Amino acid sequence: MQAISPSSPLVSFIPIRRRITRFAPNKLFVHCIYRSDSVYFPNGVGSSRADWQSSCAILASKVAAQEQPTDKSGEDYVNDGSTDHVAAINGHKTSMDLDLVPLNKGSSDDGNSNNNKLMKPLTITDLSPAPMHGSHLRVAYQGVPGAYSEAAAEKAYPNCEAIPCDQFEVAFQAVELWIADRAVLPIENSLGGSIHRNYDLLLRHRLHIVGEVQLPVHHCLLALPGVRKEYITRVISHPQALAQCELTLNKLGLNAAREAVDDTAGAAEYIATNNLRDTAAIASARAAELYGLQILADGIHDDSNNVTRFVMLAREPIIPRTDRPFKTSIVFAHEKGTSVLFKVLSAFAFRNISLTKIESRPRRSCPIRLVDNANIGTAKHFEYMFYVDFEASMADVRAQNALAEVQEFTSFLRVLGSYPMDMTPWCPSSGD
């Protein structure tokens, strides 16, 4: 893999970190904070902090020109009555207006030509990649090298340049700011369940799901060389990894507290950096190798069918096809809450479209609906956003008709992406 690696001469594992500053209402900017003064850019940008900061400034100014509503839930983009059905469902007429076209702040819809003078035409530089672009696809992931997300990035895009980010949100922003071409994010695990944070972020940002990968996850218990199980008083890892190994950890008879950290490989790195002889990490065998730890126990996940599903995100959607199995992910809501759920789901059932996942999250823009029950009091219903994945391509007329029907029953509907299903032959995590 060409990504920042331990053998890189310039830097050891510098994840993109975030410091978000509000420059203008509703506008977030990412700044990069470093662990060291030099940064590794394999393709062109100088290796100094100053070079990188000027690159960030260029990126930030490009984004400032666009005034995208990135930190809105997207609920304004609702049933606009456009005839372009899929685009209307997504709330925009072409995908271009989401990502590239600087909006004309001064112009009005009345076609005033003076105002139109303010319109900045697209130039070739608006379309060209960020300065550090190289021949490899740059893929942002959350964690440090050795994290499962890095392995998922490599599985999705072999030979990509994997870019570590310290938080999920940073991975989204890295793509929005053209620092990365794709983000790869865990969305659900067969044992631990959904990664809710990423469901929320999918709605808050306007990236498109362009693919999925399912990665068998094989966990090991790692400690410093020479440390024995009896010395361990603390086990640290990503909360999902702790959940996936809960029963096995109990069976191992460890008298250890469990502590959540940002990612599995980060836990291993932390132990190595701080020379912690009383702490073990749940992480991959690759993390053990990278950070010089020994494997105290191999394959400690509670079931060998331990698979995490990742989604790949891009600034532009892909064109859906029908010549191979596709999946489509949508999110919707309705003022009447869960009462419409049956109608929505029946739109798929009548057309023989299988659902592969349904998830609900709090509807943060209006979390509670009050129902006045006159003399009895007030019923307070929680409001939800519903996320549904179904097995059909948006190029399939059945899916188009189903969504046209769903649109009738919902007050908000967005297609998050229509993308090829991961059909790799089944092969549980190695070593089981």
Which residues participate in catalysis according to the annotation? Answer: 308, 310
User: Between residue 174 and residue 193, which ones bind ligand PRE under the rule CB under 6 A?
Assistant: 186, 189
* 3-class state of residue 183 by DSSP: strand
Using rule CB under 6 A, residue 296 touches ligand PRE = no
Q: Residue 194: which residues within 8 A CB-CB, separation 6 or more?
A: 187, 188, 359
Stretch that binds ligand PRE, among 43-51, 147-155, 325-333, 374-382 (CB under 6 A): 147-155
When asked if residue 217 is in the footprint of ligand PRE (CB under 6 A), the reply is yes
Q: How far is the CB of 219 from ligand PRE (least distance, A)?
A: 8
Among the candidate windows 17-25, 142-150, 226-234, 390-398, which touches ligand PRE by CB under 6 A?
Answer: 142-150
167 binds ligand PRE per the rule CB under 6 A:
no
67 vs 134: CA distance, rounded Å: 27
- What whole-number distance in Å separates Cα of residue 432 and Cα of residue 430? 6
Q: Using CB under 6 A, which of the segments 94-102, 120-128, 261-269, 362-370 binds ligand PRE? A: 261-269
CA–CA dist 177, 29 (Å, integer): 9
Residue where the block lists tokens 């956003």 = 385
**Nearer CB in complex with ligand PRE: 164/317:** 164
Q: Compute CA 207 distance to the chain's CA centroid, rounded to the nearest angstrom.
A: 9
Work out the end-to-end distance of the chain between its first and last CA atoms, rounded to an integer number of angstroms. Answer: 26
CB contact set of 121 (below 8 Å; sequence gap of 6+): none
Token digits of residue 388: 């549904």
**Greatest Cα-to-Cα distance within the chain, rounded to the nearest angstrom:** 77
Single residue of 263, 269, 302, 396 touching ligand PRE by CB under 6 A: 263
Helix, strand, or coil here: 156?
A: helix
Q: How far is the CB of 12 from ligand PRE (least distance, A)?
A: 18
- Among 240, 279, 393, 407, which residue sits at the site for ligand PRE (rule: CB under 6 A)? 240
195 binds ligand PRE (CB under 6 A): yes
Q: What CA–CA distance (Å, rounded) separates 274 from 408?
A: 57
Q: In the bound complex, what is the minimum distance in angstroms from residue 205's beta carbon to ligand PRE?
A: 17
Q: Rank residues 280 and 394 by Cβ distance to ligand PRE and give the closer one.
A: 280
* Sole binder of ligand PRE in the list 238, 309, 327, 334 (CB under 6 A): 238
Structure tokens at 323: 């010549």
Residues in touch with ligand PRE (CB under 6 A): 143, 147-149, 186, 189, 195, 217, 238, 240-241, 263-265, 308
